[in-house]
A and B are shown apart, each in its own frame.
Chain A
Amino acid sequence: MRVVLGEDLTLLRDGLIRLFTAYDMDVVAVDNGPGLRDALLTQRPDVAVVDVRLPPTFTNEGLRAAIEARARIRDLPVLVLSQHVEPLYARELLATGTRGLGYLLKDRVSDVGRFIEAVRTVAGGGTAIDPEVVAQLLARHARDQQLGRLTAREREVLALMAEGLANAGIAARLFITEKAVSKHINNVFAKLDLHPADEGNRRVLAVLTYLNA
Chain B
Amino acid sequence: MMRGGVIRRSARACGRGVVLAATAVAGLPLFVVSLVCVVLLPTGIGVLLAPESLLAVRRLASSQRRQAREWSGVTIVSPYRPRPAAITSGLRGQLRYCRWVLADPATWRDLLWMLAGGPVGLVLGLAPAVLTLIGLWALGSDLGTLLFGWWNAAPPTVGYQVLFLSMLPLGLAGLVAGPRLLTVHAQSASALLAPTRAQMAAQVGRLTESRSQVVDSSAAELRRIERDLHDGAQARLVSVGMSIGLAEQLVRNNPDLALTLLSEARASNGQALSELRALVRGIHPPVLAERGLDGAVRALAVSLPLPVDVQAGLPGRAPAPVESAAYFAVAEALANVVKHSGATRAWVQLDYEDGRLVAIVGDNGTGGADPAAGGGLRGVEQRLAAFDGVIAVTSPPGGPTLVTMELPCELSWART
Q: A residues within 8 Å of B by Cβ?
A: 9, 11-12, 15-16, 18-19, 22, 53, 58, 83, 106-107, 109-113, 115
Minimum CB–CB distance for A202 against chain B, Å: 32
- Cβ of A83: which chain B residues have Cβ within 8 Å of it? 230, 234-235, 238
With A11-B268, A22-B249, A83-B235 already in contact, the answer to whether A110 and B230 are too (CB < 8 A) is: no
Q: Does B246 contact A (CB under 8 A)?
A: yes
CA–CA, A113 and B240, complex, Å: 16
Residue pair B234, A15 in contact (C-beta under 8 Å): no
Residue pair A112, B245 in contact (C-beta under 8 Å): yes
- Cβ of B231: which chain A residues have Cβ within 8 Å of it? 9
Residue pair B246, A107 in contact (C-beta under 8 Å): no
Q: How many residues of B are in contact with the other chain, CB < 8 A?
A: 19
Given contacts A109-B238, A113-B249, 4 further A-B pairs with CB under 8 A are: A53-B230, A107-B241, A110-B240, A110-B245
Q: Does B242 contact A (CB under 8 A)?
A: yes
Residue pair B246, A16 in contact (C-beta under 8 Å): no
CA–CA, A110 and B239, complex, Å: 8
Minimum CB–CB distance for B255 against chain A, Å: 14
- Cβ of B239: which chain A residues have Cβ within 8 Å of it? 11-12, 15
A-B pairs, top 3 by smallest CB distance, nearest first, are: A110-B241, A112-B245, A110-B245
CA–CA, A14 and B239, complex, Å: 9
Partner of A12, one of B227, B235, B245, B248: B235
A-B contact pairs, 22 of them (CB 8 A): A9-B235, A11-B239, A11-B268, A12-B235, A15-B239, A15-B242, A15-B243, A15-B246, A16-B242, A19-B246, A53-B230, A83-B230, A83-B234, A106-B238, A107-B238, A110-B245, A112-B242, A112-B246, A112-B248, A112-B249, A113-B245, A113-B249
Q: Does B244 contact A (CB under 8 A)?
A: yes
Q: Which of B41-63 contact A (CB under 8 A)?
A: none
Q: Does B287 contact A (CB under 8 A)?
A: no
Q: B residues within 8 Å of A by Cβ?
A: 227, 230-231, 234-236, 238-246, 248-250, 268
With A12-B238, A22-B250 already in contact, the answer to whether A110 and B227 are too (CB < 8 A) is: no
The binding surface of chain B is classed by DSSP as helix
Minimum CB–CB distance for B389 against chain A, Å: 33
Residue pair A58, B227 in contact (C-beta under 8 Å): yes
CA–CA, A103 and B250, complex, Å: 26
Minimum CB–CB distance for A10 against chain B, Å: 9
- Cβ of B230: which chain A residues have Cβ within 8 Å of it? 53, 83
Q: Which of B227, B236, B243, B250 counts the most A-chain CB atoms under 10 A from its CB?
A: B243
- Cβ of A16: which chain B residues have Cβ within 8 Å of it? 242
With A58-B227, A83-B230 already in contact, the answer to whether A110 and B242 are too (CB < 8 A) is: yes
Residue pair B238, A110 in contact (C-beta under 8 Å): yes
- Cβ of B241: which chain A residues have Cβ within 8 Å of it? 107, 109-110
Minimum CB–CB distance for B232 against chain A, Å: 9
Residue pair B245, A11 in contact (C-beta under 8 Å): no
From B236, which residue of chain A is reached at the shortest CB distance? A11
- Cβ of A113: which chain B residues have Cβ within 8 Å of it? 245, 249
CA–CA, A189 and B246, complex, Å: 38
From B243, which residue of chain A is reached at the shortest CB distance? A15
- Cβ of A53: which chain B residues have Cβ within 8 Å of it? 230
With A83-B234, A83-B235 already in contact, the answer to whether A19 and B227 are too (CB < 8 A) is: no
